[in-house]
């Protein structure tokens, strides 16, 4: 008689076996679970079967696939940088390094963000309301680097810091600037650098209307005569164009400027380069001369409050700065800089506010003047021209003097 056999206890599954379910199995098994455990027939999915049938790639094929993928990735990145050079002012053309494109793009984004914030502050200052969807949410700090590290976590006992946004500083509160904040202010220049410098004065209604008048004064003039005549011509041309603008009304101020670079060794007036060869020769001449002069002339015009001839007040000024080029600048560095095309739209062929600073050893005078608009001098002539334009009080005083002299003659 065969002895009774105890039912075999199912073995616990080994930890090395794959788990098909992400949830833990219940300790009490039902009948179906027992049947599944006792079944020894392996289940092979169709996907696993297909994977086994696929031929394995050779090392050369893997390498070729990797190279093709990397080429596509680099092409996509290059396409993105090319698109940025089309969208961001000052990045026209090819040959720029990726670091220059990124830095210029960040500067452009910060400028646009600042302009939007100033516009929102102006609207709110006049009692208007701004839709929250139009308010910038992701504020970029002016000092924030392109690659920022991760802040260290606070201690457990430390309370999270409460960050209260600082109030926006008020604009430069001067009587003549306050008078212009509700009037048209025209900058007769297409230079984005001059516009950026002018925006520091906090004038919300700056219009960019470049002068189309040709700059055809003879280069035989003295540098300060040439640059002053050019700036004055620009201001008068835009004034004549806009003084009778019935749609927008007469402007409160028109500001024009012109900048030239003078080679100290030859005395030649250097403006914007016209070709790559000329650009290279221009920078080599400045390096060999070591020192050169930068002149900026500013012309400010404002319509008179009275009906006096000629109907406007005008003030002009000239700023001079000496720039010293680094004697160690090599021909190779000059060629590399020229091919960035940063200096093609700048007098002298370089931009001191950008990559062109690597060519410069030092300056004597106003830095803003080399950029294109000396801010301190500009503020001074705006104050003078606005005082001269507001001549109603002076006119009344002069009329009173004339009446008094007539009475004295009658007596």
pLDDT in tens, 210-264: 998 888 888 889 999 999 999 999 999 999 999 888 888 889 999 999 999 999 8
369: tokens are 């003047």
Of residues 347 and 16, the one with the higher pLDDT is 347
Bridge partners, residue 21, by sequence: none
Could you tell me if 88 and 100 are in contact, meaning their C-beta atoms sit under 8 angstroms apart?
A: no
**Closest among 214, 213, 225 to 260, alpha carbons compared:** 225
Task: Report the largest interatomic distance among the alpha carbons of the chain, rounded to a whole angstrom.
Answer: 163
At residue 51, the pLDDT reads 57
DSSP string, 324-390: EE-TT--HHHHHHHHTTTTTTTSGGG--TTTGGGGGEEEEES-HHHHHT--HHHHHHHHHHHHHHH-
Task: Please name the helix (run of DSSP H) or strand (run of DSSP E) that holds residue 197, with its range, or none.
Answer: helix 192-199
How many C-beta atoms lie closer than 10 Å to residue 372's C-beta? 24
**Distance (Å) of CA 207 to CA 241, 254, 258:** 14, 9, 18
In contact, 207 and 184? CB cutoff 8 Å: yes
* 258 noted as active-site residue: yes
Give, in degrees to the nearest 5, the angle at Cα 285 between 360 and 365: 40
pLDDT band for 172, please (50, 70, 90 cuts): confident
The top-scoring range by mean pLDDT among 107-116, 201-210, 293-302, 396-405 is 293-302
Query: What was the pLDDT predicted at 107?
Result: 80
Q: What is the pLDDT of the chain when averaged over all its residues?
A: 78
Which CATH number applies to 68-126: 3.40.50.2300, 3.10.20.30, 1.10.3720.10, 4.10.280.10? 4.10.280.10
Q: How far apart are CA 329 and CA 325, in angstroms?
A: 8
Structure tokens at 385: 């021209």
pLDDT of residue 152: 61
Three-state SS string over 302-322 comes to EECCCCCCCCEEEEEEEEEEE
- Per-residue pLDDT band at 25 (split at 50, 70, 90): very low
Higher pLDDT, 26 or 171: 171
DSSP 213: S
3-state secondary structure of 15: coil
**What is the C-alpha separation between 185 and 233, in angstroms, rounded?**
18
Structure tokens belonging to residue 199: 């925006």
Tens of pLDDT, residue by residue over 42-77, are 555 555 555 556 667 787 777 777 777 877 877 777
Catalytic residue among 36, 131, 258, 393: 258
Cis peptide before 45 (omega within 30 of 0): no
Count of CB atoms within 10 A of residue 257's CB?
29
**CATH hierarchy code of domain 175-392:** 3.90.950.10
pLDDT at 265: 85
Task: Provide the b/e sequence for 159-172 (b: ≥16 CB within 10 Å).
Answer: eeeeeeeeeeeebe
Token code pair at residue 265 = 């060794």
Where along the chain do its domains lie?
Answer: 68-126, 175-392
Q: Each residue of 101-123: b (16+ CB within 10 Å) or e?
A: beebbebbeeeeeeeeebebbee
This prediction has a pTM of 0.57
Calpha distance 108→18 (Å, rounded) = 55
Task: Give Cα 67 to chain centroid, integer Å.
Answer: 36
Q: Identify the bridge partners of residue 269 per DSSP, sorted by sequence position.
A: 262
């Amino acid at each position: 008689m065969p002895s009774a056999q105890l039912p075999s206890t199912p073995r616990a599954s080994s930890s090395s076996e794959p788990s098909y379910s992400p949830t833990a199995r219940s300790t009490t098994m039902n009948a179906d679970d027992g049947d599944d455990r006792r079944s020894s027939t392996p289940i092979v999915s169709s996907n696993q079967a297909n994977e086994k049938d696929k031929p394995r790639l050779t090392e050369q094929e893997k390498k070729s696939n990797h190279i093709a993928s990397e080429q596509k990735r680099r092409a996509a990145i290059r396409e993105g940088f090319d698109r940025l050079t089309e969208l961001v002012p000052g990045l026209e053309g090819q040959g720029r390094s990726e670091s220059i494109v990124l830095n210029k793009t960040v500067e452009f984004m910060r400028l646009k963000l600042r302009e939007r914030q100033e516009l929102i502050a102006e609207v709110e200052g006049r009692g208007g309301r701004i839709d929250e969807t139009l308010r910038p949410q992701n504020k970029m700090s002016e000092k924030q680097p392109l690659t920022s590290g991760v802040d260290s976590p606070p201690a457990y006992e430390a309370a999270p810091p409460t960050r209260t946004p600082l109030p926006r500083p008020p604009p430069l509160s001067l009587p003549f600037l306050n008078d212009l904040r509700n009037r048209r202010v025209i900058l007769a220049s297409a230079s984005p650098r001059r516009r950026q410098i002018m925006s520091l004065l906090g004038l919300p209604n700056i219009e960019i209307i470049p002068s189309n008048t040709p700059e055809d004064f003879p280069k035989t003039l003295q540098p300060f005569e040439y640059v002053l005549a050019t700036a004055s011509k620009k201001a008068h041309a835009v004034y004549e164009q806009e003084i009778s603008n019935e749609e927008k009304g007469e402007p409160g101020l028109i500001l024009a400027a012109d900048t030239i670079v003078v080679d100290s060794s030859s005395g030649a007036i250097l403006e914007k380069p016209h070709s790559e060869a000329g650009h290279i020769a221009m920078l080599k001449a400045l390096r060999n001369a070591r020192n050169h002069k930068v002149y900026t002339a500013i012309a400010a015009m404002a319509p008179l409050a009275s009906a006096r001839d000629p109907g406007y007040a005008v003030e002009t000024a000239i700023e001079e700065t000496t720039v010293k080029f680094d004697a160690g600048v090599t021909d190779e560095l000059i060629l590399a800089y020229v091919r960035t095309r940063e200096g093609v739209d700048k007098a002298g062929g370089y931009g001191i506010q950008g990559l062109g600073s690597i060519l410069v050893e030092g300056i004597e005078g106003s830095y803003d003047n080399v950029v294109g608009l000396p801010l301190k001098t500009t503020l001074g002539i705006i104050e003078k021209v606005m005082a001269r334009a507001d001549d109603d009080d002076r006119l009344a005083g002069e009329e009173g003097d004339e009446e008094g002299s007539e009475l004295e003659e009658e007596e």
